[in-house]
Structure formats: structure tokens, C-alpha cells
Amino acid sequence: MAPTTQLMFVIFTFFSFFLCATIDAQLSPSFYRKTCPKLQGIVRKTMAQALYTEKRMGASILRLFFHDCFVNGCDGSILLVDTPTFTGEQGALPNKNSVRGFNVINTIKTNVEKACNATVSCADILALAARDGTVLLGGPSWTVSLGRRDSTTANLTAANTDLPPPFANLDKLISMFAAKGLNATEMTALSGAHTIGLGRCVTFRAHIYNDTDIDKDFATLRKATCPFSGGDANLAPIDLRTPNKFDNRYYQNLRLRRGLFHSDQELFNGGSQDGLVESYSINGRRFARDFAAAMIKMGNISPLTGSHGEIRLNCSVVNN
């Protein structure tokens, strides 16, 4: 081989490798088009069955995805259970006794494994399930890019520090989302996920008993099932009017000072997000559009791709 030909071959090989590595590290909506073509249909069908049994599950899966992505990226780490030799994230303060839906993700995984064994990650299943649960409750759809791989580790410390708490003020919320690459608009749009689901008394007690930025009648209503002491696990709808419908009433509630959590009402309390809350409360289409875009961006936080991580056979534990 002539020197010039050898040089061209080396250059071609280098760029081919570089191109493959770049592509390998990217997520794609068509990632499983050939290897698991029935994937999205399986996820949608299983989620529909889960919501038929319990409407709340849509909110639970959406929250599970959020809590996964905010801790070391969207890698399925929150799905890992504690073992005698492994400590996961489920015992972190923001997750303990509150994150749920693991049984649904495990059921989807079982169904997917029957169609295409050892092919689809639990992280991708969670991303699709969060989207489908939202759609099935009347919310917007978005294109989910796929190709995430599953983490073999978890981060309890980060789960305790990186997840926005229900008592956070606006500056804290903005900074915590910014740390994940999400701006204030995206933070306010993603907070609209609280248009569905339930909250535990312990997470909103301080707001209804101590805060002044709350409608008095609403506070009285919530106190009926959330006593000053005790009843920590008692549940209340985050959106009083349509807790099982994904709409823009969450923002309408904020304008009426009926946010269930302190962090909710901070979005409409004389601060920088008041105007956006007003807009979303009037323009449901704008909220839906911004929410979908923010979910896409959140779903792209630090995914494991290529040869990193693994494809778990059981979402609850790492492979042997």
C-alpha cells in the first residue's frame, strides 16, 4: 500500500470510528425500530391497563421519571432496591414512602422481555411510560428519544440533595433546576405535572398552617384531613378540581392561592414567574407545548449510552 493510500486509510478509519462513537452516544426515537419494533405499543397498552386500575398511577410514573433524571441523569437508578450489599435511592428523604409505580415498570419490563429479550433498558421504559401516562390522562405527547442504558449504581446522597423539596422558595427552585440545565421557564412548565396526583399531609402541612400566601378556605379544607400533628400519610389532591386530568388548572389554582405545596405557590407570589403562571392559566396550549418541550430536555439529562451501564434484565436489581 502506498504511503498516501495508507494515510488516507488511517484518516478514514479514524473518522469512521469517531462518527460511530458520536452516533453511539446519541439518543434516537428510532433506536429500537429493528431490535424491538413492538416496544412502544407494549408500553402504551400496559400503561393503559395500569391507569384503568388506578388513575393516580399516571402521576406516580411521571414523578418517578422526574426523580430518576434529577439524580445522576435518566439512568433508571431510582428503580434499584436496597440489598444487603447495595444502597439505592428509594430510601432518600424525598423518595421514602412516596415514590411508587415500580410494579408497573416491572410489569412493562416483563412484557417487553417476552417480545425482545435483553434489548430495552429500564431507563427507556420509564421514559416512555411517563409520556404515555401523561397522554392517557389528557396531556400532551412528545417524541421520546431512546437508547439509554441502565446504571449499575445509585446515589443516595444526591437523591437527598438534588431533588427540589416541597418547602423550597422560588430562588431555590430556579437554582436547583438550573443545576440540571433547565431554565426558569422550563421549571415552571415542569411544575405543571402537579396538575395530576396526590400529596401527603407531611409535605404540605407547614404551608396550610404557617403560610400567609394561601386562600383561607382552601387551607381550612386541607386541615380537615391534615391535622397539625399526626396523619402524615393522609393524601390530598394537588389539583382539587381535576386531579386525574392533565390540564392547566394547576396554574388557575395558583392564581387563586390554592397551591397545595409551598413550592407550588412560590411560582405565583409576586415573583418572576407570575406572568408565566398567568399565561399558562389562560392558554392551555402554550402550557402543553412548553411542558412537552421541557420533558424532552429533562429526558436528555446525562443518559448512559454506548458501552456504559447495562441493559438490566430485572429493573429492581443490577445484572449478575
* Cα radius of gyration rounded to whole Å, the chain: 21
Of 295, 289, 315, nearest to 140 (Cα)? 289
Q: What are phi and psi of 199, to 5 degrees?
A: -120, 150
CB 65 within 8 A of CB 127: yes
Q: Is 87 annotated as a binding residue?
A: no
Q: With H, G, I as helix, E, B as strand and everything else as coil, classify residue 8.
A: helix
Residues 261, 264: Cα–Cα separation, whole Å: 5
Q: What are phi and psi of 8, to 5 degrees?
A: -65, -40
Q: Is 68 annotated as a binding residue?
A: yes
Q: Is 77 annotated as a binding residue?
A: yes
Q: Is 217 annotated as a binding residue?
A: no
Q: Is 290 annotated as a binding residue?
A: no
CA count, 13 A, side-chain hemisphere, 253? 26
CB 39 within 8 A of CB 120: yes
Residue 67 annotated as catalytic: yes
Q: Is 225 annotated as a binding residue?
A: no
Residues 169, 241: Cα–Cα separation, whole Å: 25
Q: Is 124 annotated as a binding residue?
A: no
Strand partners, 314: 317
Alpha-carbon distances of 293 from 14, 186, 267, rounded to whole Å: 35, 8, 19
Residues 219, 225, 230, 236, CA torsion sign? negative
Q: What are phi and psi of 297, to 5 degrees?
A: -65, -40
Q: Is 89 annotated as a binding residue?
A: yes
Residues 141, 289: Cα–Cα separation, whole Å: 9
Q: Is 186 annotated as a binding residue?
A: no
Q: Is 247 annotated as a binding residue?
A: yes
Strand partners, 146: 28
Cell of 224: 380537615
CB 162 within 8 A of CB 71: yes
Give the residue numbers marked as catalytic: 67
Binding positions are 68, 71, 73, 75, 77, 89, 164, 194-195, 239, 242, 247
Binding positions for substrate are 164
